[in-house]
Structure 1
């Protein structure tokens, strides 16, 4: 017997950055600043991520490439792993992700890769609280999800083990 199950994907699209909450804008600015510390000599693509913890502390990270490609890390995982190591008991409320091409002052659309989506979901499951995700999807157009599950609806998790 076939059963139909539908999940609501909770997200909002903002047609202008100014429509976002002040707290979101502050997080985006921290993610943009994190792009400056990216080590991206191979792709020239600088990614920054910033997390807002439950105590309102912001933790950021940037992509760190390596000539042995799989040895590098994306900005989202750098930020999450740093927060996990430094502030292990604090929950992550939000994450903002931004990107720009090297030697450019313009920010471009970016969304987390599959590995980052999986790690973000794992943190959400671990803390048993949704993590909002804020990403630029077009010039001055943003999407904000209410949970990382929106990014990975058919996820692999501990229930599959």
Structure 2
């Protein structure tokens, strides 16, 4: 007999920036700033990400497009891969994400694409600690306690070996 299963994901919605900690405000500000140096001539969709490591180091990234579309890279992966290459044994505490269209200065709601969710989940599984996610919206700022909340039916290395 089929049964209904409910997934519960807790999302904290902040109505203004001042409700965030100073560290989270700084991360979100850096994610917003990173959108202004993204390379998005094809989509005109500028995405920025900023993450903080356990040692306090902050890394920003943005989307980098390419005429051969699959060769581009999203902001979240740009930042995470740089962190992994530069600080391979440091835990990522939080990642903040912001986006805007073209030359507009208004930030729009954004959540990571499927590929970024999977890549972020890999880092979360590798470090065996959750990575908080902060996403900038038009009127609200959303916080999730873990990347796992973005990908409830996750695929990790455990699935390969169990």
TM band (smaller chain): over 0.9
SS at match of 1:116: helix
The gaps in structure 1 that reach 5 residues or longer are none
- Aligned-residue CA RMSD (Å): 1.7
Matched residues, number: 160
Given that 1:17 and 1:140 are in contact with CA atoms closer than 8 Å, whether structure 2 keeps it comes out as no
Find the counterpart in structure 1 of residue 62 from structure 2. 62
Q: Give the drift of 1:18.
A: 2.0
Given that 2:95 and 2:132 are in contact with CA atoms closer than 8 Å, whether structure 1 keeps it comes out as yes
SS at match of 1:73: coil
List per-residue Cα deviations over 1:123-160 (Å, max 9, x = no partner): 000001100000023x2301100000000000111122
Runs of 4+ off more than 6 Å: 1-6
The gaps in structure 2 that reach 5 residues or longer are none
Q: Give the drift of 1:89.
A: 0.9
Q: Give the drift of 1:10.
A: 3.1
SS at match of 1:85: helix
TM-score normalised to structure 1 length: 0.93
Find the counterpart in structure 2 of residue 154 from structure 1. 153
Given that 1:10 and 1:147 are in contact with CA atoms closer than 8 Å, whether structure 2 keeps it comes out as no
